[in-house]
Amino acid sequence: MGKNGKVLAVDDNEDILFSLKLLLKHHVELIKTTTDPSDIPGLLKSEDFDVILLDMNFTKDAISGQEGFDWLKKILEIDPQAVVLFITAYGDAEKAVRAIKAGATDFVLKPWQNEKLIATVSSSVQLRRSRVEASGLRMKQKEISKVLDQPFHDFIGESPEMKKVFATINKVAKTDANVLILGENGTGKELVARALYRNSPRSEEVFISVDLGSISETLFESELFGHEKGAFTDAIKEKAGRFEIASGGTLFLDEIGNLSLPLQAKLLTVIERKQVVRVGSNKPLPVDIRLICATNNDIHDMVAEEKFRQDLLYRINTVEIHLPPLRDRTGDLPVLADHFLKTYSKKYKKSISRISQDAMKKLNQYHWPGNVRELQHAIERAVIMSEADTLQSDDFMLSSPRKKADGLDLETYNLEEIEKNIILKVMKQNQGNVSQAASELGLTRTSLYRRMEKYGL
């Protein structure tokens, strides 16, 4: 068996140090010894030791072991992953237990049995390597998370509507409360989720995003809860689900309004019990997540129409954050446009410094059915195509307002805006009679009242 590991032995007894060196030099790469514990900080800086053998008492006639505990504390301050083995006299079982509680990995009783000491040192070296590897993986995950999160720092706005959103995020982020984000497509729901994550106590852990709209019914349980090998035809190896992977961190479930009622029931069970059962297994696995959900659907209407479980809604919306559409925060348009202009000018190595007044007027008059995402793409395209240092009105290819044959203006492709206009028109035709208007719209009175309240009608 080859030599493995670097060991530091600290004891005021020269004979003990000599014995340790003689015994371990055949089994480890390096063994350093010292009788003076004050050498420890310097030695730890000069060498990366896998195991530290530490005497409990250094002052003559001392028996309390307190010096050993003091040095253990200092070692762990220098290197929190240090593996420390206390060298203690036979019979000091109480001190040995106290040492483990204080952060020591194990203890060696004097006089020791050679084979047992070698085995203890060997397993301690492996423990140290595992700790370092785990720490490296955590750091790697942290850096990967930072890189993945980078594009989502573009969450800006100065309008009163967005200041209200930012204030809510600041209050809620510090808690573990479940959050439901409501808003149209392109308003930045994932930006809100990541802002909550970045400012939470779980920011050092993982952020896992799942688009529920893209997962089929048949794969839902496997993707979210995991599966065992052989659980179904394609399960050639075991797989952890998104809940397991996110445990300790934050799980973002986007488009939760797209789930069928049976899948909603399965999701509710996991959230309530805080445990998952992999497909093909009976063993429950505990999960600890901060849950953030989002949808562009009117989820309260879905509850009223029995398309979404009310008990699931109660579980996911401890706090609701409503993201306004871009047309309702037009004061932010110049700020956003300037931000995206700088971003894409830099990305495509263009020297475009401004947007002309005519172009800004055109942007301000547009209805932005795709919200901030559409503005972002419009400016990216304009930057790519432009050869000048200023973006002009003609650089922006925006869709024109449409008209239907019955004369109803369709200035947007946004379904909520269309719905609002239709309700206004039908209410006007029925002279404000809610029952008649609801009947004509194919809605219940309650559903129509909810929509009227939503749109401030």
Contact 326, 375 (CB under 8 A): yes
133-137, 189-193, 406-410, 442-446 — most confident range: 189-193
Comparing 121 with 429, the larger pLDDT belongs to 121
What confidence score (pLDDT) does residue 144 get?
Answer: 59
Q: What ranges in 113-212 are assigned the alpha helix state H? A: 114-149, 160-173, 189-198
Closest to 337 (Cα-Cα) out of 310, 364, 367, 369: 364
Pairing state between β 6-10 and 51-55: parallel
On the question of pLDDT at 137 being above 70, the answer is: no
> Do residues 307 and 340 both lie within one domain?
no
Say whether both 345 and 406 belong to one domain: no
Is residue 168 located within the same domain as residue 314?
A: yes
Distance in angstroms (rounded) separating the CA atoms of residues 52 and 91 = 22
User: At which residue do the structure tokens 């300790």 appear?
Assistant: 248
- Residue appearing with tokens 């595992």: 130
Q: How far apart are CA 334 and CA 159, in angstroms?
A: 11
What residue numbers bound the domain in which 131 lies?
6-135
pLDDT in the model for residue 404: 45
Q: What pTM was computed for the model?
A: 0.60
Same structural domain, 314 and 179: yes
**What's the total number of domains in the chain?**
4
Q: In which band, very low, low, confident or very high, does the pLDDT at 380 lie, cut at 50, 70 and 90?
A: very high
134-148, 278-292, 403-417 — most confident range: 278-292
Task: Answer yes or no: is 216 within a domain.
Answer: yes
387 and 331 in a common domain: yes
The answer to whether residue 146 is domain-embedded is no
Sorted by sequence, the CB contacts under 8 Å of residue 175 that are 6+ apart come out as: 200
CATH code where residue 411 lies = 1.10.10.60
**CATH code for the domain in which residue 65 is found:** 3.40.50.2300
pLDDT for 168-201, tens place per residue? 999 999 999 999 999 999 999 999 999 999 899 9
Residues 385 and 411 in one domain: no
User: 411 and 356: one domain?
Assistant: no
Higher pLDDT, 59 or 384: 384
Domain match, 17 and 66 both: yes
Dist CA 291 CA 95 (whole Å): 44
